[in-house]
């Protein structure tokens, strides 16, 4: 591949005309250089930039130099020491082992060796502090038709959480379109505006602070004439703000405090703080520590457990290694950082093979063995990061075709194993992000919450708590929901129904009631549970008293709304606790002035 050097004159001929009378030294040009390789122009400005050859804002090169051929398929810009010419020199030496012309590379030293250059150096450095070259359009794919105008930089290729510098209307329209669902700020500046440069650091800081919540744009109207004309910009600095694609405010002046307050207010308007955060509810307005996850650590008699496995595998070295590791891990003198077994790499294939050769009614023994292994977060992470797919976890937690035909022992060990996978953040992420694993988890969870066996309902409530806490923490840390909303709605409906039908165990009911506000507190859209029996002002009944009543016309919906859901739920939850404490079997309970009766409920889309 040919390697070419593109040479530009940034002064557009002025250096040749005025250098001798000003400095006493003739300077042909103020050089900017770039390397062209395989149809792409590489140059250094705000980091390494790329462009279609000759399409940058520098115009056409004054000279093209063929440097040779090659077989090969930083933001620290300094005008005198680390500039575009230093970059092309290093890249040229790397590619072809040849230096660019000395008169280009040594221009800073030539200029600084003159008295005028020494005098001007501090002023030049101060004027250019924080100023870098503008980003360039992205080159088209090979074979694509040439573009007559520079293409906008795709959002995915823009500098993340940094000010986006645009040079024409096409790029500006693209950036504003990318912020149509959030907010944007345009900073109109110019190369001859000293006050503008004083707020450059503040604007950069606000861009990093805003992250993906806002698009901060900078336009130099001394070069972007079309933008200046369209927006009628008469002075700099001028700022314009946009909320949901609508212009909201325009102001001028280099007031850093005003800039900070206006942009932060704009972001708050585009992304209002959830009303839950305004409530004084310390129990929910905090990060819940991972140590609160419910794990099942009881160790059964291992010899009896192994007897459930095929006889020909009971003396397998991998199985012996597993039992030895479990025994050592659960000993009183256990060191949590004790070495992992050397046979760990054989565990996944052994477990997968064992599931294939063991009768389904004995799968619980394999699940229970794995439950004890994944109590060590290192093993849980090891199983979760199998590449390209978590095959072992998919084998252990397959989607259940018919929960009614699944043996009880398989159900309970599956629930307990899934709870224990919360020992590692990596295994939690895999469990809730992989579509099949998440579907399997939500299926057995929502089914078990309504199972007739109390131990299954208790284990399901524990798993629901773990899922709710992980999702709550993700919301609290600003990561958004990790569980899709459809699954959240399904789980919320199951929790509400489970509260209503739980009659055997106060402990299970209290556990579910404790989970419900943690889980439901952040569901975004409406969750409506509509009656299927004749209208009555109820949602569910328990002989010990029940929880929630909301009426909407004659349809009687239970709605968890984004603006009011958490407030309503907390009030209702508090009423439920008070009512449950006062009620007894056969005694009618009242919630919000309405008598509670019996009804059946089903999920209804908003």
Is the pLDDT reported for residue 338 higher than 80?
no
Catalytic-residue membership of 32? yes
Confidence of residue 423 (pLDDT cuts 50, 70, 90): very high
Give the Cα separation of 144 and 167 in Å (integer): 23
pLDDT, position 592: 29
Cβ neighbours for 229, distance < 8 A, ≥ 6 positions apart: none
Confidence of residue 114 (pLDDT cuts 50, 70, 90): confident
Confidence of residue 174 (pLDDT cuts 50, 70, 90): very high
| Selected residue with higher pLDDT from 486 and 365 | 365
pLDDT, position 176: 93
Residue 47's DSSP bridge partners are 45
159 phi and psi angles, rounded to 5 deg: -60, 125
Range with the poorest average pLDDT among 96-100, 171-175, 317-321:
96-100
Is the pLDDT reported for residue 600 higher than 80?
no
- For the segment 541-566, the average pLDDT, to the nearest whole number, is 34
Q: How is domain 155-272 classified at the CATH fold level?
A: Glutaredoxin (3.40.30)
Q: What is the CA radius of gyration of the chain?
A: 33
Confidence of residue 360 (pLDDT cuts 50, 70, 90): confident
Nearest CA to 137 among 54, 48, 218, 51? 51
Determine the angle formed by the axes of helices 317-329 and 347-357, rounding to 10 degrees: 110
- For the segment 519-538, the average pLDDT, to the nearest whole number, is 39
**Paired sense of beta strands 557-559 and 528-531, if any:** antiparallel
Q: Is the peptide bond before 388 cis (omega within 30 degrees of 0)?
A: yes
- For the segment 390-414, the average pLDDT, to the nearest whole number, is 84
Per-range mean pLDDT, top range of 25-29, 160-164, 367-371, 523-527: 367-371
pLDDT, position 145: 47
138 phi and psi angles, rounded to 5 deg: -85, 135
Is the pLDDT reported for residue 370 higher than 50?
yes
What is the residue extent of each domain of the chain? 2-128, 155-272, 276-448, 484-606
215 phi and psi angles, rounded to 5 deg: -110, 115
pLDDT, position 603: 28
Helices (H) and strands (E) in the chain, counts: 23, 15
Is the pLDDT reported for residue 215 higher than 90?
yes
pLDDT, position 393: 92
* Token couple for 463: 């798993």
318 phi and psi angles, rounded to 5 deg: -65, -40
Q: Is the peptide bond before 237 cis (omega within 30 degrees of 0)?
A: yes
Distances (CA, A) of 530 to 125, 492, 497, 502: 69, 13, 12, 20
Check: CB of residue 460 under 8 Å from CB of residue 411.
no
Residue 8's DSSP bridge partners are 32
Confidence of residue 191 (pLDDT cuts 50, 70, 90): confident
| Selected residue with higher pLDDT from 131 and 231 | 231
Mean pLDDT (the chain) is 76
Is the pLDDT reported for residue 431 higher than 60?
yes
Check: CB of residue 467 under 8 Å from CB of residue 484.
no
pLDDT, position 490: 83
- 48-98: per-residue pLDDT in tens? 888 888 888 888 899 999 988 876 554 456 666 677 888 888 778 778 778
Catalytic residue among 58, 84, 419, 434: 84
Is the pLDDT reported for residue 242 higher than 90?
yes
**Exposure pattern of 542-571 as b/e (b: 16+ CB <10 Å)?**
bebbbbbbbbeeeebbbebbeeebbebbbe
Catalytic residue among 32, 58, 434, 557: 32
Check: CB of residue 486 under 8 Å from CB of residue 480.
no
Give the Cα separation of 48 and 94 in Å (integer): 15
250 phi and psi angles, rounded to 5 deg: -135, 135
Cβ neighbours for 334, distance < 8 A, ≥ 6 positions apart: 328
pLDDT, position 77: 61
User: 238-242: which pairs have CB atoms within 8 A and are 24 or more residues apart?
Assistant: 238/187, 238/188, 239/185, 239/186, 239/187, 239/188, 240/185, 240/186, 240/188, 241/183, 241/184, 241/185, 241/186, 241/266, 242/176, 242/179, 242/183, 242/184, 242/185, 242/186
Confidence of residue 231 (pLDDT cuts 50, 70, 90): very high
Distances (CA, A) of 176 to 136, 150, 155, 217: 17, 17, 11, 9
Top CATH class of 2-128 equals alpha beta
pLDDT, position 189: 93
């Amino acid at each position: 591949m040919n390697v070419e050097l593109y040479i530009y004159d940034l002064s557009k001929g002025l250096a040749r005309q005025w250098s001798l009378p000003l400095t006493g030294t003739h300077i042909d040009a103020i050089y900017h250089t770039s390397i062209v390789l395989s149809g792409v122009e590489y140059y250094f400005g705000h980091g390494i930039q790329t462009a279609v050859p000759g399409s940058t804002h520098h115009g056409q090169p004054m000279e093209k130099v063929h440097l040779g051929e090659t077989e090969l398929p930083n933001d620290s810009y300094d005008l005198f020491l680390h500039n575009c010419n230093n970059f092309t020199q290093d890249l040229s030496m790397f590619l072809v082992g040849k230096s660019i012309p000395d008169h280009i590379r040594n221009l800073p030293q030539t200029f600084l060796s003159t008295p005028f250059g020494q005098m001007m150096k501090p002023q030049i450095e101060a004027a250019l502090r924080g100023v870098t070259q503008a980003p360039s359009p992205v080159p088209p794919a090979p074979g694509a038709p040439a573009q007559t105008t520079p293409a906008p930089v795709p959002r995915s290729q823009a500098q993340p959480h940094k000010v986006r510098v645009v040079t024409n209307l096409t790029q500006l329209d693209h950036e504003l379109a990318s912020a149509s669902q959030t907010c944007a700020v345009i900073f109109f500046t110019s190369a001859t505006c000293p006050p503008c440069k004083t707020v450059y650091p503040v604007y950069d800081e606000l861009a990093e602070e805003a992250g993906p919540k806002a698009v901060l744009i900078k336009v130099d109207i001394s070069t972007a004439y079309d933008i200046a004309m369209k927006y009628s910009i008469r002075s700099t600095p001028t700022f314009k703000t946009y909320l949901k694609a609508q212009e909201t405010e325009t102001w001028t002046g280099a007031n850093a405090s005003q800039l900070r307050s206006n942009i932060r207010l704009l972001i708050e308007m585009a992304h209002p703080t959830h009303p839950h955060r305004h409530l004084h509810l310390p129990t929910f307005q905090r990060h819940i520590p991972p140590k609160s996850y419910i794990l099942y650590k009881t160790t059964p008699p291992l010899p009896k457990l192994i007897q459930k496995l095929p006889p020909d595998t009971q003396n397998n070295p991998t199985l012996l290694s597993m039992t030895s590791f479990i025994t050592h891990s659960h000993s009183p003198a256990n060191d949590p950082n004790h070495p992992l077994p050397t046979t760990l790499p054989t565990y996944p294939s052994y477990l997968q093979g064992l599931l294939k050769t063991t009768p389904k009614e004995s799968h619980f023994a394999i699940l229970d063995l794995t439950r004890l292994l994944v109590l060590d977060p290192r093993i849980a992470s090891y199983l979760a990061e199998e590449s390209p797919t978590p095959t072992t976890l998919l084998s252990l937690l397959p989607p259940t075709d018919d929960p009614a035909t699944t043996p009880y022992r398989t159900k309970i060990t599956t629930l307990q194993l899934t709870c224990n996978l919360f020992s590692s953040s990596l295994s939690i992420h895999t469990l809730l992000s992989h579509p099949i694993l998440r579907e399997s988890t939500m299926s057995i969870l929502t089914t078990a919450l309504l199972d007739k066996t109390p131990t299954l309902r208790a284990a399901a409530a524990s798993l629901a708590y773990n899922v709710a806490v992980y999702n709550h923490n993700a919301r609290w840390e600003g990561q958004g929901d990790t569980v899709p909303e459809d699954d959240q709605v399904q789980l919320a409906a199951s929790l509400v129904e489970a509260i209503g039908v739980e009659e055997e165990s106060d402990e299970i009911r209290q556990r579910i009631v404790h989970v419900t506000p943690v889980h439901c507190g952040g569901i975004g859209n409406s969750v409506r549970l509509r009656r299927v029996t004749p209208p009555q002002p109820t949602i569910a009944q328990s002989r010990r008293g029940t929880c929630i009543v909301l009426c909407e016309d004659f349809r009687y919906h239970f709605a968890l709304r984004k603006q009011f859901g958490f407030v309503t739920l907390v009030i209702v939850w508090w009423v439920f606790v008070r009512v449950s404490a006062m009620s007894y079997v056969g005694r009618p309970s009242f919630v919000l002035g309405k008598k509670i009766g019996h009804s059946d409920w089903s999920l209804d889309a908003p």
